[in-house]
Structure 1
Amino acid sequence: MLIARRIPRFLYFTTSCLVSPTMSFSTQRTSDGTITISPKRAQEQSALVVISHGLGDTAEGFADVAENLARAMPYVKFVLPTAPTQPVTLNMGMSMPSWYDIVGLDERSNENCHGISESQARIARILQEEHDKFGLPYNRMVLAGFSQGGALSLFTGLQLPQQLAGIVVMSGYVPAAAQLKVQQPSTPILHCHGTQDVIVPYAMAEKSQKMLQSKGVEKYELQSYPIPHTVSPNELAAVMAFLQQVLPPDDTCQVTLPDPSTMSVKELKAEIRNAGLSKQATGLMEKHEFVKLIQDHRQGKL
């Protein structure tokens, strides 16, 4: 049975990767399994990273990793969607969270990725919403993922009309290669892979690199680690360094937030929760009170 390993919840970065022990972010979970980790001061966001989990996992598998990244990069929003639960042919038709069906890992079977277009569109919508709603440039966005989620990140990021800041693949591969039409050959790619991986062998990573380079991809860095189908602290440190390189702090790219006075009460309450202001909002009843609370927070009065 092929199931991507859940990331161990005890696996953290070394202390040298963390810039502050303080909680500079807010974590929200929605009913569809999406986890969003946002800067507490929403107006200070200037970048986005979308992390897609592996086969059989959920967004929770990378929640701890994303929160550690958020501590080191407090200007980045992290969005972790959960794949739909659907049958997977390779796993005897068992239903599990999966971005697309997997018939086999040989090159011929790997072309049959039923459902990948729908997942590709879902990830693209997350990016588009961030751009349309908050004005965040695409070159301040990164797609990342583990195993099947890394494959989806490659498939989506290289085919967007806009160039991203980068793509991170952990223990992944190129899916549906015959369908993949590279639109953004200059997008930097970091591919980290275990040499002891028996689920997605390291040879698949090498083939993926060569295949995409033959399609014109210019910046594809493949790093090997003496690990099986999982991630290690050293690998996560490399991911951190890559993200900091392609998404350095840049106040000129900060998002544009809607005027609180034009927001609905539901939207106001959501921002209050995200900002960690629920205690200060206790007892407030009128919309203008919520508006003032958010205005004071954005102006640094709280």
Structure 2
Amino acid sequence: MSPYTITRSGTTITLQPKDSASQSGLLVISHGLGDSASGFEDVAQMIATQMPHLKIVLPTAPTQPVTMNMGMPMNSWYDITGLDERSNENCKGIQESRQTIVDILEKEHEESKLGYDRMVLMGFSQGGALSLFTGLQLKAEQKLAGIVCMSGYLAARAQFKLTKGLEDTPILHCHGEADPMIQVGMAQKSQGIVIEEGCTNYELKTYRGLPHSVNMEEIEDIQKFLAKVLPDSEDHKVTLKDPSDMSIKELRAAIRNAGIGNKAVGLMEKSEFVKLVQDHRNGKL
């Protein structure tokens, strides 16, 4: 039986432990240009199977015109006018997308009291660029457990400034040596720029023969990195809302996520839903 449940709200996909009280970490995965949350759902499932204490959130970028796509609208975290350095200075829309990711982190912290040091940003290509851009410019007190950039780069260099106090945030940058879209030299230059800004913990791993894609070797390296920076921890379990303070909608969601929907059949009163959630949390089911 799967240790996690999958829920879809709008364009966002969330994987979370069936036993919500067992969560002790958060991973946010941002997809690449033209893709959607579902594009990395399989990778998220692999990670969730190995690390069932993680909640994994996969947002979808807004649909907006992309200059490099002849102005045609597509899912994009920001506009891309070209792949050269000069074009990479603009990135219209990146600040709004950065705020979208920050909102996800802050909402989790508010609702579950999970520390930012138990959160990781991860992304592929444009999503990797967004993860770097966002994770290294958070407030000092929001320092993350780590950042994973897959086949990405540092976007909007002119707008980037490493926050003091985040210099040793662990970064794993994975990149294919045969990538024709974002060449490995761009990854190396990005690493150099971030290190010049003061970063002291930036690892760049390259993969021979890998194009603009992800392979199993890379996923295994990412899982090792995540296991190191986000190991399961009894001291960092989330704080759950008291069932008696939850709305019917929240109770139904908790029951669905726990995989005990069959036990809710026929229940009518809120008190019955509250008891069901409480019994599940107390291990009585």
TM-score by length of 2: 0.97
1:180 alignment counterpart: 160
Match of 2:259 among 248, 266, 276: 276
Report 1:80-159 matches (<5 A): 80-159=58-137
Q: Does 2:172 align with 1:190?
A: yes
Q: Does 2:31 align with 1:53?
A: yes
1:295 alignment counterpart: 278
CA distance in 2, matches of 1:275, 1:115: 37
Deviation by residue 1:87-120 (Cα, 9 ceiling, x = unmatched): 1001111111000000111111101110000000
CA distance in 1, matches of 2:204, 2:198: 16
Deviation by residue 1:184-234 (Cα, 9 ceiling, x = unmatched): 111000000000000110000000000100000110000001200000000
Shift of 1:30: 1.3
2:188 alignment counterpart: 206
Match of 2:226 among 243, 249, 265: 243
Shift of 1:271: 0.9
Shift of 1:72: 0.6
Counterpart residue identity of residue 225, structure 2? F
Runs of 4+ in 1 over 2 A off after TM superposition: none
Shift of 1:68: 1.1
Counterpart residue identity of residue 152, structure 2? G
2:143 alignment counterpart: 163
CA distance in 2, matches of 1:56, 1:196: 21
**Which stretches in structure 2 are left out of the alignment for 5+ residues?**
none
CA distance in 1, matches of 2:284, 2:233: 23
Counterpart residue identity of residue 158, structure 2? A
CA distance in 1, matches of 2:144, 2:9: 26
Q: Give the match's secondary structure for 1:178.
A: helix
1:234 alignment counterpart: 217
CA distance in 1, matches of 2:59, 2:224: 23
CA distance in 2, matches of 1:29, 1:248: 26
CA distance in 1, matches of 2:65, 2:99: 20
Shift of 1:276: 1.1
CA distance in 1, matches of 2:123, 2:8: 19
Q: Does 2:12 align with 1:28?
A: no
Deviation by residue 1:117-155 (Cα, 9 ceiling, x = unmatched): 000000000000110111000000000000000000000
CA distance in 1, matches of 2:8, 2:247: 20
CA distance in 2, matches of 1:257, 1:237: 31
CA distance in 2, matches of 1:29, 1:267: 14
Shift of 1:278: 1.1
Deviation by residue 1:16-48 (Cα, 9 ceiling, x = unmatched): xxxxxx3000000112x1000000010110000
Query: What fraction of aligned residue pairs are identical, expressed as a percent?
Result: 59
Q: Does 2:236 align with 1:257?
A: no
Q: Give the match's secondary structure for 1:23.
A: coil
**Which stretches in structure 1 are left out of the alignment for 5+ residues?**
1-21
Give the root-mean-square deviation of aligned CA atoms.
0.6
1:67 alignment counterpart: 45
